[in-house]
Amino acid sequence: MDEYYNEIIEAVAEMANHNEAEYHLCSQGTLAALMTGFGIHNPDVLRSSTAFAGGCVRRGNICGGLAGALMFLGLLVGRDDLEMKDQAFRGMGYMDKLFNKFEEKYGTVICKEIHEKLYGRVFDLTDEKQRDELHDIMVDAEEGCPDVCGEAARFAAEIAIEILEAGHPFANSIARI
């Protein structure tokens, strides 16, 4: 991978980290960083990622940063209609790779479990007081949710560049990087 691609990967990771620290809603911040980094502007896709924040509607299930990163790969290599089974299976292979890298890094893909590891406790993100407490803690944490979003974005960007270098059809639909 050349230096130009490495710069894109680092910029996307930094942007996802910033987005989570500044705006919260991890799924959107991660997805927005990836779409920006790869020259994609689609507010409908960004809007649809809202539901995955905080472990899916703030329930602490699958990490929202991972969900946003998976949505990005789905945008790139997912199927365009239900008849396109080969495209769906190929896309799932890339998404599986992302899922596995993330799980290997954090030992889990579950938001609550990541909070436990990073902050020593679980937060009920449906409770505004606990959510605000988490947001306050994130600012001073040595490693926290912003870093998780950055890593999810980094992994997705690495895979996106792999897809681009392999010459998959999506490459024609994004801005030339």
Domain boundaries along the sequence of the chain: 3-173
Which pLDDT band holds residue 1 (cuts at 50, 70, 90)?
A: low
Which pLDDT band holds residue 39 (cuts at 50, 70, 90)?
A: very high
Instruction: Give the three-state DSSP class for 149.
Output: helix
Q: So what's the pLDDT on residue 81?
A: 78
**Cβ contacts of residue 158 below 8 Å, gap of 6+?**
1, 9
Report the share of the chain in percent with pLDDT over 70: 94
Instruction: Give the three-state DSSP class for 65.
Output: helix
Which pLDDT band holds residue 135 (cuts at 50, 70, 90)?
A: very high
Mean pLDDT of 122-151: 95
Burial class of 144 by CB neighbour count within 10 A (0 to 12, 13 to 18, 19+): buried
More confident residue, 134 or 140: 134
Whole-number average pLDDT of the chain: 92
Q: So what's the pLDDT on residue 88?
A: 74
Mean pLDDT of 42-65: 96
